[in-house]
Amino acid sequence: MSVGTVVVLTGAGISAESGLSTFRGPDGLWEGHHVADVATPEAFTHDPVTVQRFYNRLRARLPAVTPNAAHHALVRLEHAMGTAFHLITQNIDDLHQRAGSTRITAMHGGLTMIRHVDTGDVLSWHGDLPENEQHWRPHVVWFGERTIGLDHITEMLSQAMLFLAIGTSGTVYPANQFAAIAKRAGATTIEVNLEATAGAFDFTLTGPATQVVPGLVERLIEGPLAALAVHGG
Residue 17 touches ligand BJW, criterion: CB under 6 A:
yes
Over the window 197 to 226, marking each residue x when it contacts ligand BJW by CB under 6 A and - when it does not, the resulting string is: x----------xx-----------------
Torsion over CA of 83, 89, 92 and 94, rounded to 10 degrees? Answer: -40
How, if at all, do strands 109-116 and 122-124 pair?
Answer: antiparallel
Q: Which stretch binds ligand BJW (CB under 6 A): 41-49, 138-146, 181-189, 215-223?
A: 138-146
List 72, 86, 108, 139, catalytic entry: 108
Residue 143 touches ligand BJW, criterion: CB under 6 A:
yes
Of 56, 90, 112, 159, which one interacts with ligand BJW (CB under 6 A)?
90
71 is catalytic: no
| Nearest approach, Cβ of residue 100 and ligand BJW (Å) | 20
Over the window 102 to 131, marking each residue x when it contacts ligand BJW by CB under 6 A and - when it does not, the resulting string is: ------x-----------------------
In the complex, the residues that contact ligand BJW under the rule CB under 6 A are 11-13, 16-17, 22-24, 35, 39, 90, 92, 108, 140-141, 143-147, 167-169, 171-174, 192-195, 197, 208-209
